[in-house]
Structure 1
Amino acid sequence: MTGREILHKMKEKVGLGSSDPDSGKGKSKLQKNVTHGFHLVKGKGHHAMEDYVVAQFKQVEDNELGLFAIFDGHLSHEIPNYLRTHLFENILKEPDFWAEPEKAVRRAYRMTDDMILDKAVDLGKGGSTAVTAILINCQKLVVANVGDSRAVICKNGRAKQLSVDHEASSEKEHIENRGGFVSKFPGDVPRVDGQLAVARAFGDKSLKKHLSSEPHVVVEMIDDNTEFLILASDGLWKVMSNEEAVNAIGQIKDARSAAKTLTEEALNRKSTDDISVVVVMSNEEAVNAIGQIKDARSAAKTLTEEALNRKSTDDISVVVVRF
């Protein structure tokens, strides 16, 4: 298989078209008004793009699942790419997923990290953060994360953070109890053993004794007040607050455009990271509540553009989901 063919296969897995490799959109078959859009922008670092996105609806037996995720790698792209392929697969293999999704997600996260560490020679020395969202029959949302990629839901026009930022400074005691330390040098963020800015991640075999891959997991019910969901890597959140991200896509009609707008705004705000944004959105009441946004891809585009405007230099990935 040629490199071009491999890239095309990778795009198909997340809904990317061959002519538009950095964004995509889709919609639910169960609820036609539930749509998603996403957008990715490479940061200014001298490395390959290390953000990977999943954004798709999938039929499982008699249920529809919306699978959305952002995997933000560091030191290499192998581990986030591995997560893109295997993490949801492992979650859905859990026998108690339908009865106890929170328990199943936690177990699958731990098992997947064990698999990554066993393959450390093949996958390199790096690691990855993760934020995942599983939408079950457009009624229940199961969100999990390790690291600093974030999930923010908008209800009644207000931003609500569903994930937890696992920063080194906030878990200093746990890191020290494992024999590690948290450094803080002038002009830099706190880091685990002077190296990693997050306290939880997949991989990072050389630091694993001092890191955790235990996810924060929360279940959020979808109701008439639910407007949209944003998943984004830290390339966005370093330069935008939750409220700013929600407000930035208030006039966008297309979810993919909203995601792109956010990534571009992050770059305008001097973000240097890779930036990935996913936006998921739905229902007419929500459209009225947040202005003119009707398409998740436009919303994702908007968030991307906003991140660029704020000079984000990270890779930028945005997924927007409307409810």
Structure 2
Amino acid sequence: MMAAAREHHTVPLSVLLKRELANERVEKPEILYGQACQSKKGEDFTLLKTECQRIVGDGITTYSVFGLFDGHNGSAAAIYTKENLLNNFIAAMPPDLNREEWVAALPRALVAGFVKTDKDFQQRARTSGTTVTFAVIEGLVITVASVGDSRCILESAEGDLYYLSADHRLECNEEERERITASGGEVGRLNTGGGAEIGPLRCWPGGLCLSRSIGDVDVGEYIVPVPYVKQIKLSTGGGRLIISSDGVWDALSDEVALDCCRGMPVEAAAAQIVKEAVQVKGLRDDTTCIVIDIVPPEKPAAPLPQPKKLGRGVFKSMFRKRSPESSSQIDKEYLEPDVVEELFEEGSAMLSERFCFDAMHFCVRCRLDTKYPLCKMFKLFICAVCQVEIKPDEGISIHVGSSDFGKLRPWDGPFLCSSCQEKKEAMEGKRPPGDRHSSDSD
């Protein structure tokens, strides 16, 4: 197995960026992309933007975003999320960050953007939901946030396969089943009468087979919009990303999807993957694929090598945590290797854990050599989720109710407005979800 042949390490982001500077590899790679879709219900939507601008000092830098939104029970949630998620995530990014800080802030901002999008949409519609796989590419750093059962995979230039999203189907995710039942939901198969049960595991009421999505207000707020987030840095050889809806993954394995399009340009590759999926199972669902090539500067696009076959369980074993070391030791050790490195991974559904800056490897400051003040990440009188202004005596610490809350100072943030605090409590099963919607308008 690859994990045995080559060790993968968790490397501080600052070290990787220093390595780029040391090797004069700060040029941005070329981003090539193509998409294809065969529609059954008309509920799949995509967002493809390669020239998103960000002001840095006196200059402007760009980054790319790619989103796949697979709607269900109508297309309203998918359309709304496509139109609003990017702006909501950008609004949650603190101003005046350098590149290192901006990349480090991405996971927290994506969580806030997902939750705000869901909260705003639920005030506009009672039904409809969507899965979301949302990728941000800044240089060689790829950050993917996901809810639902669409999937994002990466084949590196070295021929290794990486999984950058999580599967939130209840059928295959025991941890999510336990979270839902603990929050007040019920998990079971469709009962046809007489004790016979059929189909996949679903959440009741509502019958949704996913544990996370945006929308789905009629199912209950323990179906949460808090995304799994994975952040990696590619080697300078680049790689190929494939983002597809479940119409592809229900028909093809990851290896087959990569193999069937190897050596093809991105547009042809996306079309070939969709064609292969439909040939295997027929057009039973919207079947959408986005293929993205990250091509190093001054290097022509070339067919990717044959990947080594990996099981899904191998992904986490690729990255071995290291014991803390001094900055100089880390710099010396990691200036030479040029392989895919993990920067961040977290999938907790608890907002307090996703915004906590003192918890283990969630801490952004631990990934920076310099002190990273909390005020840079969270504005004192701004809600950490919806970004509305709150008065000093109205903000609610996100740590309220946690076992460590008594150890925190009264001014320790981040803070939520009362509306977002209600959303947080509903997602954690701390009050009946029906209370949340009694005053909402359609």
Scaled to the shorter chain, the TM-score interval is 0.7 to 0.9
Aligned partners of 1:147 and 1:68: how far apart in 2?
16
> How far off is 1:213 after superposition?
0.9
Q: Which runs of 5+ in 1 are unaligned?
A: 1-29, 292-323
Counterparts of 2:180 and 2:213, CA distance in 1: 13
CA separation in 1, counterparts of 2:271 and 2:224?
A: 32
**2:185 pairs with one of 173, 176, 180:** 180
Alignment partner for residue 82 of structure 1, among 64, 80, 94? 80
CA distance in 2, matches of 1:32, 1:133: 16
2:32 matches 1:35: yes
What CA distance in whole angstroms lies between the structure 2 residues aligned with 1:210 and 1:102? 21
| CA-to-aligned-CA distance 1:54-73 (integer Å, 9 cap, x gap) | 11212413121111010000
> In the alignment, which residue of structure 1 is the partner of 2:112?
107
Partner residue in 2 for 1:58? 51
Indicate yes or no: 2:272 matched with 1:270.
no
SS at match of 2:285: strand
Q: Distance in 2 between matches of 1:73 and 1:184?
A: 21
Match of 1:152 in 2: 153
Shift in Å at residue 187 of structure 1?
Answer: 4.8
- Aligned residue number for residue 215 of structure 2: 203
1:125 to 103, 121, 127: 127
| Paired residues of 1:158 and 1:243 also in contact (CA < 8 A) | no
Residue of 259, 267, 273 corresponding to 1:256: 267
Distance 2:30 2:128 in 1: 39
- Same amino acid, percent of matched pairs: 25
Residues 70-96 of structure 1: per-residue CA shift (max 9 Å, x gap): 000001111101111110111111233
Structure 1 position 288, deviation (Å): 4.1
- CA–CA distance in 1 between the matches of 2:254 and 2:267? 18
How many angstroms apart in 1 are the aligned matches of 2:169 and 2:38?
A: 23
Residues 146, 32 of structure 1: alpha-carbon distance in 2 compared, 3 angstrom cutoff: closer
Seen in structure 2, the aligned counterparts of structure 1 residues 177 and 32 have a Cα distance that, compared at 3 Å, is: closer
Please tell me whether Structure 1 or Structure 2 has the larger radius of gyration of its CA atoms. Answer: 2
User: In structure 2, what residue type is equivalent to 1:54?
Assistant: L
Given the two structures, how large is their TM-score scaled by the length of structure 1? Answer: 0.74
CA distance in 2, matches of 1:146, 1:63: 28
Q: Residues of 1 paired with 2:65 and 2:303: CA distance?
A: 26
Give the residue type in structure 1 aligned to 2:36: H
CA distance, structure 1, for counterparts of residue 232 and residue 29 of structure 2 = 21
1-side partners of 2:189 and 2:227: how far apart?
Answer: 25
Residue identity matched to 1:189: P
In the other structure, the counterpart of 1:191 is: 202
> Are residues 1:71 and 2:69 paired?
yes
Counterpart-to-counterpart distance in 1, 2:130 and 2:93: 26
Deviation of 1:257 (Å): 1.0
Q: Which 5+ residue runs of structure 2 have no aligned equivalent?
A: 1-26, 96-101, 191-196, 307-442
AA aligned opposite 1:289: L
Q: What is the TM-score normalised by the length of structure 2? A: 0.54
- SS of 1:198's partner is coil
Q: Secondary structure at the match of 1:184?
A: strand
Bigger drift between 210-219 and 280-289 goes to 280-289
The count of corresponding residues between Structure 1 and Structure 2 is 253
Which structure shows the higher strand fraction?
Answer: 1
1:16-43 CA-to-partner distances (Å, cap 9, x unmatched) read xxxxxxxxxxxxxx75742111111112
**Cα root mean square deviation, aligned:** 2.0
Q: CA deviation at 1:266?
A: 0.7
Out of 302, 305, 308, the position equivalent to 1:287 is 302
Q: Which residue of 2 aligns with 1:166?
A: 168
Q: Is the 8 A contact 1:38 1:55 kept in 2?
A: no
Tell me how far apart the structure 2 counterparts of residues 290 and 55 of structure 1 sit (CA, whole Å).
Answer: 26
**What is the rounded CA distance, in whole Å, between the counterparts of 1:287 and 1:88 in structure 2?**
31
SS at match of 2:200: coil
Q: Give the match's secondary structure for 2:226.
A: coil
